[in-house]
A and B are shown apart, each in its own frame.
Chain A
Amino acid sequence: MALIEVENLKLYFMTRRGPAKAVDNIGFSIEKRETLGLIGESGCGKTTTAMSLMKFIKPPGQIVDGSIRFMGKDIVPMTDEQIRQLRGKEISIVRQEAQNALNPVLTIGKQITEMILEHESVTRETALARAKKQLNLVGINDQRINSYPHEFSGGMKQRVMAAIATACNPKFLILDEPTTGLDVVVQRQILMMLRNLKEELNLTAVFISHDLSVVAETCDRVAVMYAGKIMEASDAVSLYKTPLHPYSKALIGAYPSLKGERRQLKSIPGVPPSLIDPPPGCRFAPRCELAQDICIQEEPAVNTIDGRHVACHMVK
């Protein structure tokens, strides 16, 4: 059984001009110990999707339809109190801006033990010992347990965030652009650390990024999102080698690489559509080179080809 199963999820933001369909009828599942990558342009709904897995949805955002099953149990109808039991304990998150996520007036030791004490009935000493173990796990000397966040660099703060997120041995970890804004050298160090953490703790994860190369290095399967829809979901190797959906092709075609020949790249013309009033057919049709009449009129269904899921009229 998959650890996470999402079906027909619709998450709308109720604005004055009508509902903005940030996530519109998507479905995917994540197997145990697998890492799923979510990629797409800004505003495509990848972060909203990930936040819904923890029900971090604030009004005017609202789950309109669908189910999110975590270990077989649907979390959509759960009460706030029930979901609080899961957050941090079973499902945890590492966010993009570590600087802003840490409390500047508490030592990092305090912030790690806070998490443990909140979810488990252990003594302060045990919690402190575990916090030290966590710090070693993410590659920080445990003597720094009484340091404040401002004494750490950006990369180190991201390590502290990972230590907090995994303090209660969660089963599922949401990584929301964990390396965006970090230098390449630090980024590589953080990615290595996350990889070790995943091995050590048998984690299942979803990795959100707009950086195709980071996703290529970290994920087993990848879902490409566009304007609130999943365009293609496939194992990482075949997606990068032979993208099926025209949008995946365009995205990969726009991505420069340091390895191999210097090649001509093509940007994708146009801008993503409005989520309040999306085009009636395929949402990518207005920017798609292959678009036919049917693409503009009819929304494509998800086809499964060799275990890969594609939503495009032109791919059979």
Chain B
Amino acid sequence: MNHNTVLKIENLKQYFPLRTGMFASLFKKEQSYLRAVDDISFSVAEREILGFVGESGCGKSTLSRTILKLLEPTGGKIHFKGTRVDAMSRKQFKPFRRKMQMIFQDPFGSLNPRRTVSEILRQTIKIHHLVEDRDAEDALIRKTLEEVGLNPVEEYWNKYPMLLSGGQLQRVSIGRVLVLQPEFVIADESVSMLDVSVRIGILDLLFKMRDKYGISFIYITHDLVTARYICDRIAIMYLGKILEIGPTETIINHPCHPYTRALIAAVPVPDPTAEIQELPIRGYIPITPDDTMDSCNFAPRCLERKKECRSGKPQMVQVGEGHFAACLLVDGDQCRDNRE
């Protein structure tokens, strides 16, 4: 794999101030925050697909919005191809916007219902002044539609979104991104609303974009199964933090963090003879994470927790080749022991 870094994130934070009641705000000076993204660092290499997996509310969508500056980060640095973009103004950031794109979850909601497929793409081309005249626009739209598998193009050219299936709509949204020739794309739950029979087609289209145009991806999902299919590396998120990150097959077959193990155990398998085991996790994800907690976020739900888990924050430690975990009970040797 090529190791040129496309995106580098350092200590990224996104805090949302919590509204407190009148009396609480009178007597408590400190403002409390919901730490949606809490001190996250990672990088994405050229042509890499990095997956972020976690339950709802773990901050994975906030993370993607913060990286693309749809939300201003509370703290931390975002480097895109060596340039620091987090402190840029909207105007300064505009040329980067073309290079950093996003495919949304809901193709029914993210495409204008009153524009035809060709108009949707034409609008994007116009906003970014991609070509000079209308003939060139037509040619570019045609080429893009073919590229995303909407063949024959004539059949889709004048269709409105309501006449297309979910899979076809998602291909239009991918086309809208592809036409800009981005270098980095965030796919936020891009297949979770689609039927199983068309999901693989869309994922294969992402592969094609990577292989043909060298686009790097962050693939955000709650579904470990599709993440395994498409990602080179997977990061497991819980309450705004990365708990474990590593190469896909290592994460799936030799998970190190107790939360990763619980997530994997919870995924149903398409085999009626498989034995169903008790889940190694307790309770529910807390509705508002306690921001004063200076212990492991996962400790309240962890079955393996010990005394020390309540008293210190775990740091990321290396447990294998490119494999890191943040758990006080894990040090490099211990995780290796688990594998044998």
Contact = CB atoms under 8 A, between A and B. Distances in A.
A252 interface: yes
B199 A257 contact: no
Given A256-B226, A258-B224, A267 B198 contact: yes
Interface string B249-266: 100100000000011111
Contacts, number: 118
Contact of A184 (B199, B200, B222): B222
A186 interface: yes
B22 interface: no
A71 interface: no
Interface in A199-246: 210-214, 216-217, 219, 236-237, 239-240
A17 interface: no
Contacts of A262: 228-229, 248-249
Contact of A236 (B165, B166, B267, B272): B272
A155 interface: yes
B278 to A, nearest CB: 8
A254 B266 contact: no
Given A153-B284, A210-B196, A254-B199, A237 B268 contact: no
Contacts of A271: 165, 167-168
A266 interface: yes
Query: Which of B197, B200, B226, B287 has most A Cβ within 10 Å?
Result: B197
A252 B281 CA distance: 30
Interface string B197-213: 11111001000000000
A183 to B, nearest CB: 4
B269 A216 contact: yes
Interface string A179-190: 000011111110
B229 A259 contact: no
Nearest to A153: B284
Interface in B263-307: 263-274, 276, 279, 281, 284-285, 287
Nearest to B198: A267
A186 B195 contact: no
B200 A185 contact: no
B270 A216 contact: yes
B311 interface: no
Interface residues of A, number: 42
Contacts of A236: 272
B24 interface: no
Nearest to B55: A183
B225 interface: yes
B222 A217 contact: no
Contacts of A189: 279
Nearest to B259: A185
Given A155-B284, A262-B228, A216 B266 contact: no
Given A185-B281, A212-B196, A262-B229, A252 B270 contact: yes
B229 A265 contact: yes
Contacts of B196: 41, 210-212, 251, 254-255
A257 B269 contact: yes
A250 interface: yes
A136 interface: no
Nearest to A222: B272
B124 interface: no
B25 interface: no
B262 A185 contact: yes
A192 to B, nearest CB: 8
A214 B268 contact: yes
B56 interface: yes
A129 B56 CA distance: 35
Query: Which of B223, B266, B273 has most A Cβ within 10 Å?
Result: B266
Query: Which of A183, A237, A255 has most B Cβ within 10 Å?
Result: A183
A216 B275 CA distance: 11
A191 B266 CA distance: 10
Given A187-B266, A188-B268, A259 B204 contact: no
B269 A259 contact: yes
A298 to B, nearest CB: 25
A256 B274 contact: no
Interface string A245-283: 000001110111111001001111101000000000000
Contact of A41 (B197, B264, B276): B197
Nearest to B164: A271
Contacts of A192: 276, 279
A267 B199 contact: yes
Query: Which of B195, B196, B267 has most A Cβ within 10 Å?
Result: B196
Interface string A48-65: 000000000000000000
A177 to B, nearest CB: 13
Contacts of A269: 201
A251 B166 CA distance: 17
B266 A210 contact: no
A265 to B, nearest CB: 5
B56 A184 contact: no
Given A188-B266, A216-B270, A216-B274, 17 more contacts: A183-B56, A183-B222, A214-B268, A217-B269, A217-B272, A236-B272, A252-B270, A254-B196, A256-B228, A257-B271, A258-B228, A265-B229, A266-B200, A267-B197, A267-B200, A269-B201, A271-B167
20 contacts: A41-B196, A153-B284, A184-B266, A211-B196, A213-B271, A216-B271, A216-B272, A237-B272, A239-B272, A240-B271, A251-B196, A252-B270, A254-B197, A255-B196, A256-B200, A257-B225, A259-B271, A259-B274, A266-B200, A271-B167
Instruction: Please give me the 9 A-B residue pairs with the lowest Cβ-Cβ distance, nearest first.
Output: A267-B201, A213-B268, A236-B272, A267-B200, A183-B55, A213-B270, A184-B266, A188-B266, A268-B197
